[in-house]
C-alpha cells in the first residue's frame, strides 16, 4: 500500500537530516525476547507458556502492560512485584530471539548513504537498550540513544525528543520521529517534530493509528526507502 500522508506536502529530494526512531516495535521485533522472559516467569509459577500472539500487541506498551496481559489474575501490587524479575529475565534473553523488522536495515542504510543521521529514543530502560544495539551493530551507527530513564521524563512527554534534537544540533522541526505507539506520536507533536507512524509495529486491536495525527503512516520500512515518503 505504501506510505499514506495525512496532508499534501512538497516532494523532498533527500532524507531528513536527522531521523529518530522508537526501538521496540519500530526498529526491532523484540516480541520473541519479551515472550521468552514472560514464559520464564510463568514457568517459575507452574503456568503454561504464553503465545507470541497473546503478548505481541502489548510489547510497545511496556513491561507493566506485558505483565498484566500475561498474569491477568494478579492484582496490581502482585504485578508490580514482577516488574524487576521480568526485566532481569528479559536481560538474559536480549538479542537471542528478536530481529530487526524486515526492511529496517535497508532503510537505515539508505538514510546513512544520504549523509543523514539517525538515533533511538525509547521508553526501554537505557541499560537494557544499550545491550540490544551491539547485536546489530547499531551501537556504532546510532547518533544518540535516549532511554526511558535517561531523563526526568519519558514519552509521551516531549523532553526526550527535544533533548535529542538539541544534542544533535538541529531544530526539532528538522527532525522526524518514527514510532509504532500513540505515545510516540504525542511526544513528537508536543516537541514540534514531524512524525511517521510505523504501522508494522505492535498495536492493540482497539488502537486506531488514523486518529493519532501522525504526519505519515507507513505500512512497512521499505516504504520509507524513498525520501519523498518522509514528512520533510
18-21/175-179 β-pairing: parallel
Grid cell digits, residue 46 = 507452574
Residue 161 near residue 173 (C-beta atoms within 8 A): no
Residue 59 near residue 88 (C-beta atoms within 8 A): no
Q: Give this prediction's pTM.
A: 0.90
User: Which residues are known catalytic residues?
Assistant: 22
**60 confidence band (pLDDT: 50, 70, 90):** confident
**Model pLDDT for residues 147-198, shown as the tens digit of each residue:** 999 999 999 999 999 999 999 999 999 999 999 999 999 999 999 999 999 9
223 annotated among ligand-binding-site residues: no
Grid cell digits, residue 170 = 538541529
Shortest CA distance to 26 belongs to which of 231, 175, 180? Answer: 180
24 annotated among ligand-binding-site residues: yes
Q: Which residues pair with 217 in a beta bridge?
A: 4, 197
Find the mean pLDDT for residues 105-117. 97
215 annotated among ligand-binding-site residues: no
**87 confidence band (pLDDT: 50, 70, 90):** very high
Find the mean pLDDT for residues 13-23. 94
- What strands lie across the sheet with 175-179, from one edge to the other? 4-5, 216-218, 195-198, 175-179, 18-21, 117-121, 145-146
Q: State the helix-helix crossing angle for 83-93 and 31-44, rounded to 10 degrees.
A: 120
Residue 183 near residue 203 (C-beta atoms within 8 A): no
Amino acid at each position: 500500500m505504501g506510505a499514506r500522508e495525512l496532508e499534501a506536502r512538497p516532494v523532498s529530494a533527500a532524507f531528513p537530516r536527522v531521523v529518530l526512531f522508537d526501538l521496540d516495535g519500530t526498529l526491532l521485533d523484540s516480541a520473541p525476547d519479551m515472550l521468552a522472559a514472560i514464559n520464564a516467569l510463568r514457568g517459575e509459577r507452574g503456568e503454561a507458556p504464553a503465545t507470541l500472539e497473546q503478548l505481541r500487541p502489548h510489547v510497545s506498551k511496556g513491561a507493566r502492560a506485558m505483565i498484566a496481559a500475561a498474569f491477568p489474575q494478579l492484582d496490581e501490587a502482585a504485578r508490580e512485584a514482577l516488574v524487576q524479575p521480568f526485566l532481569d529475565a528479559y536481560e538474559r534473553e536480549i538479542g537471542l530471539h528478536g530481529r530487526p523488522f524486515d526492511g529496517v536495515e535497508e532503510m537505515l542504510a539508505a538514510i546513512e548513504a544520504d549523509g543523514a543521521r539517525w538515533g533511538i529514543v525509547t521508553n526501554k530502560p537505557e541499560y537494557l537498550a544499550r545491550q540490544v544495539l551491539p547485536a546489530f551493530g547499531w551501537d556504532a551507527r546510532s547518533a544518540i540513544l535516549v532511554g526511558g530513564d535517561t531523563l526526568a521524563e519519558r514519552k509521551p512527554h516531549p523532553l526526550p525528543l527535544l533533548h535529542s534534537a538539541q544534542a544533535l544540533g538541529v531544530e526539532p522541526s528538522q527532525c522526524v520521529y518514527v514510532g509504532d505507539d500513540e505515545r510516540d506520536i504525542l511526544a513528537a507533536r508536543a516537541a514540534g517534530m514531524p512524525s511517521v507512524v510505523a504501522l508494522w509495529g505492535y498495536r492493540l486491536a482497539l488502537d486506531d493509528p488514523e486518529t493519532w495525527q501522525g504526519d505519515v503512516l507507513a505500512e512497512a520500512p521499505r516504504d520509507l526507502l524513498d525520501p519523498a515518503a518522509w514528512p520533510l
